[in-house]
Amino acid sequence: MKLRRKLFSSKDPYDFSKAEIFLDACRENYDHLITHCDDYKKISEGLGIRSSKDINRPSDIPVIPTMLMKQHDFRSGRYMVMATSSGTSGKMSHVRFEFGALMAALKMSIKVTRYHGIMTAKPCRYIVMGYKPHRSNKTAVAKTAYLTTFLAPAISRKFILKHTSDGYKPDFESIVEALKKYEKGRAPVRFMGFPSYTFFLFRLLEERGLSFKLPKGSKVMLGGGWKQFYQEAADKDTFYKLAKKTLDIDEENIVEFFGAVEHPILYTDCAFHHFHVPVYSNIVIRDPDTLEPLENGQTGLVNLISPLCTATPILSVMTDDLGILHDGSECPCGVKSPYLEIVGRVAPEDIKTCAAGAADILKGVKV
Ligand SMILES: [Zn+2]
């Protein structure tokens, strides 16, 4: 996977001029997939693509819907690590990563987090608003939240979701106690995890009239999606205001990540909270009826493309998200690559996302 190595070694994670290397790395990945996965070969031939020579642009790459991955376990080579999407067993995607994919993911994470100033040498305290690692939990959400606690040296790690004999339970009181202690210290505090739990904590602090002045450099990092906030765009502003009011954290110190187990690319929002597409991936927005690619600015199904992995055929996956791709020039941050706005889901009542799952747990919590 020479071309993958070249692509993931790009110096600038948002260098728009890498389109040619990206397409070549996708062709290289495609050639591996059709010789290592009969299912993918059949899907590809069914779509009239017989060799990588038939691929002239990223949108030509045969697509696998994530819905299908939840029902069928696709494999395309040896692997070292497996991650699953959230969901009940039998309805999860299984994504396997080989050594080369892990190395590419590591290079990408270092470049992207450095670019956004998240990777630093200053030690800090982590509060993970998500799962405490446990051998029974193989979800990518748990793994990535834990991995982010290595982006700056950790003095301590606290997790809100504790594994009990009845499954995972949130422990807000221990977080409030920890904040009282951390406020007096000098080490920055970093929150990482689900926006839902973080938002819930802010509201709890506000209701109790508690506010903290966390040490300089403290950050709120969010991952796992805003899905339950889709209908209320104003909630993001409320969220930023509450972060300032309860923890004295400014909006510029709130960073959000976006990714999916079937598309393990690290999207990080810019200063204007836009998810620009990095060099490691491409996004095609498709017409929900004809599946034809749409122009930037139009709403359609989100198709995510990346040659990161060879052990699972996730080169081009079709999500059930509806989104819009905007021209990079519409954002004043200076990054030229387009950015993705997720606007909803195709069938929200049918699909339980990891964020919605977390929201379900919240319902059982008394404050
Ligand atoms: Zn921007």
Q: How far is the CA of 72 from the centre of ligand 1 (A)?
A: 37
pTM of the model: 0.83
Q: What is the CA radius of gyration of the chain?
A: 20
**Predicted pLDDT of residue 356:** 46
User: DSSP class of residue 34?
Assistant: H
**Predicted pLDDT of residue 89:** 53
Residuewise pLDDT in 10s, the chain (367 residues): 899 999 999 989 998 788 899 999 999 999 999 999 999 999 899 889 999 999 999 999 999 998 888 888 899 999 988 888 766 555 788 889 999 998 998 899 889 988 988 888 889 999 988 877 777 776 666 666 677 677 778 888 899 888 788 878 888 999 999 999 999 999 999 998 888 888 889 999 999 999 999 999 999 998 876 554 444 444 788 889 999 999 999 999 999 988 888 998 999 999 899 999 999 999 999 998 899 999 999 999 999 999 999 999 999 999 888 999 999 999 999 999 999 998 877 754 444 444 444 445 444 433 3
Q: How far is the CA of 205 from the centre of ligand 1 (A)?
A: 31
Q: How far is the CA of 243 from the centre of ligand 1 (A)?
A: 21
Q: How far is the CA of 193 from the centre of ligand 1 (A)?
A: 22
Q: Which structural domains are found in the chain, ordered by start?
A: 2-93+275-361 (2.30.38.10), 117-259 (3.40.50)
**Predicted pLDDT of residue 90:** 58
Residue 157, CA distances (Å) to 30, 45, 56 in order: 40, 49, 47
Q: How far is the CA of 260 from the centre of ligand 1 (A)?
A: 21
Is-contact 288 300, C-beta < 8 A? yes
Token pair of 253, please? 């110190």
Q: How far is the CA of 356 from the centre of ligand 1 (A)?
A: 27
**Predicted pLDDT of residue 80:** 85
Q: How far is the CA of 121 from the centre of ligand 1 (A)?
A: 25
Q: How far is the CA of 56 from the centre of ligand 1 (A)?
A: 28
Q: How many residues does this entry show for the chain?
A: 367
Q: How far is the CA of 174 from the centre of ligand 1 (A)?
A: 36
**Predicted pLDDT of residue 184:** 95
Element (H, E) at 264: strand 263-268
Q: How far is the CA of 333 from the centre of ligand 1 (A)?
A: 4
